[in-house]
Amino acid sequence: MDAIATQELLTDFDRDALREVATIGAGHVATALSQLAGAKVLIEVPQVSIVHISEVSKLIGPQEEPMAGMYMRLMGDGNGTILVALRRQAALSLVDLLLANLGRPAHLLSEMEQSALREVGNILAGAFLTAIGNFVNVVLLPSVPHLAVDMIGALVQSLLIESGIDRDYAFVMHVSFLWGDHDVGGHLLIAPDATTMDALLRRLRELSQDVC
């Protein structure tokens, strides 16, 4: 892949653009989750970066930490893979928010609760892909999510092996879900294939030149 996709070569415009896209996506996620939960949910994205795929699992959390991961394929005008990674307790807290569960054993996830988590993944990925797509004038869509609970290192490794897609870099967004006295975090990983990533970043370059 072209060296244009390295974090070091991102311009100030690129970083500002990514933060703007993240803010727009966060607003859409907050609206959708608030409607589902019947309570006000705020979404913050304090960090957006582009990292080499080999560094992703280290950025998300300790390799041995159990996480709930929602896998999706990137479709539309691009190709790639998507992972929404939530620490196990964060995932359970979101399930309780959406389904108003009380007193459920902390280690169990019913089919309905798994479905709720997949919906969170779908909303999160869909909102951010739409924001990115609108910004660079392409259509980006997530596939139906698949849920897995495993250590973060295994989740990321499985994602890379099973997809069979050639990619070097990924967008990684740290996402905070805020409601009541809760503040739980997760990560959204969007790993376009080399061609798609290059096209997205070249489009950012074109936009920055238009602004200048």
What gap in Å lies between CA 171 and CA 192, rounded to an integer? 8
Which residue, among 127, 108, 118, 165, has the nearest Cα to 146 in the 3D structure? 118
C-beta of residue 161 within 8 angstroms of C-beta of residue 153: no
Taking only the tens place, the pLDDT of each residue in 36-79 is 888 899 999 888 888 887 788 788 877 778 889 999 999 999 88
**Helix, strand, coil share (%) of the chain residues, nearest 5:** 50, 30, 20
What gap in Å lies between CA 152 and CA 1, rounded to an integer? 25
Provide CB contacts within 8 A for 53, sequence distance 6+.
160, 167, 168, 169, 170, 191
Residue with tokens 């390295």: 6
Provide CB contacts within 8 A for 90, sequence distance 6+.
177, 184, 185, 186
**pLDDT value, residue 123:** 92
> For the ranges 127-131, 177-181, 207-211, which has the lowest average pLDDT?
207-211
Whether residue 3 is predicted with pLDDT greater than 50 in this model: the reply is: no
Taking only the tens place, the pLDDT of each residue in 101-136 is 545 555 557 788 888 899 999 999 999 999 989 888
Number of residues in the chain: 212
Full domain range(s) for residue 121: 3-211
Whether residue 163 is predicted with pLDDT greater than 80 in this model: the reply is: no
Whether residue 179 is predicted with pLDDT greater than 80 in this model: the reply is: yes
Rounded to two decimals, what is the model's pTM?
Answer: 0.84
Residue 91's CATH number: 3.40.1550.10
- In percent, how much of the chain has pLDDT > 70? 85
Specify the number of domains making up the chain.
Answer: 1
Instruction: Tell me the average pLDDT across 193-211.
Output: 77
